[in-house]
Structure 1
Amino acid sequence: MSYLDILILFSATSFLIYGIAYFVSTNMKNEFKRFGLEKFGPLTAFLELAGAIGLFIGVGIKNNTILLLASGGLALLMLLGTGVRIKMKDSLLISLPAFFYFVLNTYILYRTLM
């Protein structure tokens, strides 16, 4: 298993957990309310789950097209998430996870293209 595969599995597992957490945790729903984006919560969770599944499938069957779509979609989602955190004037510590996952999935996208 390569270093890239480990990063892909880490990202996929994280987004699987985050996606499920929205549907079982009131904390996640409350964050979307705080952002004024309550109606986008279920869509965001669905996209996180779809991205996670795409990463798992892409790495499992070594399909670069699926990896590109999944990592690119998750990178875009986390770029937007970072933007929302900045707009809400959240602290660096609170904003860091969204930025970290943006960088991670951008790296996966870049490496998949190479």
Structure 2
Amino acid sequence: MSLYTVCVLLSSVSFLGYGVSYFTGPHMKSEFKRFQLEKLGLLTVVLELLGAFGLMVGFFFYKPLLIISAGGLALLMLLGLIVRLRLKDSLWISLPALFFMVLNSYILWGALQ
């Protein structure tokens, strides 16, 4: 299994997990309240879930969907990183958004090659 395949699987499974956690536990919803973005919580989670499914479907069946999904998730994580920086969250707390932004940027770059 190549590094690229592992990255696509890691990102898609992670975003599926984040999406499901929004509906199964209070932590994700409380984070959106803390960000003062409660109204965007559901939209963000739907975009994460669509991105996760898009990565998988795009990887195995339809490359343009992989490109759109990886770019969308990278952009979503850039926006998440900006929100965390504005709230003056620590680097440690902001690291997941940075990591997934870089990871999905790598997936996008690989898909464009």
TM-score by length of structure 1 reads 0.96
Q: Does 1:26 align with 2:23?
A: no
Over the matched positions of the two proteins, sequence identity in percent amounts to 55
Cα distance in 1 for residues equivalent to 2:91 and 2:24:
26
Cα distance in 1 for residues equivalent to 2:25 and 2:83:
20
Code of the aligned partner of 2:53:
I
Cα distance in 2 for residues equivalent to 1:77 and 1:25:
21
Unpaired runs of at least 5, structure 2: none
Cα distance in 1 for residues equivalent to 2:18 and 2:72:
15
State the match for 1:93 in structure 2: 92
Cα distance in 2 for residues equivalent to 1:25 and 1:9:
24
Runs (4+) of structure 1 moved beyond 2 Å? Answer: none
- How many corresponding residue pairs? 113
Offset of residue 58 of structure 1:
1.0
1:20-73: CA deviations, max 9, x gaps? 111111110000000100000000000000000001111122x22011000000
Other structure's SS at 1:18 match = helix
Other structure's SS at 1:59 match = helix
Cα distance in 1 for residues equivalent to 2:5 and 2:65:
14
Cα distance in 1 for residues equivalent to 2:43 and 2:20:
12
TM-score by length of structure 2 reads 0.97
Q: Which moved more, 1:76-85 or 1:2-11?
A: 2-11
Offset of residue 2 of structure 1:
2.3
Code of the aligned partner of 1:7:
C
Other structure's SS at 2:75 match = helix
Code of the aligned partner of 1:52:
A
State the match for 2:52 in structure 1: 52
Code of the aligned partner of 2:34:
R
Give the superposed CA RMSD.
Answer: 0.7
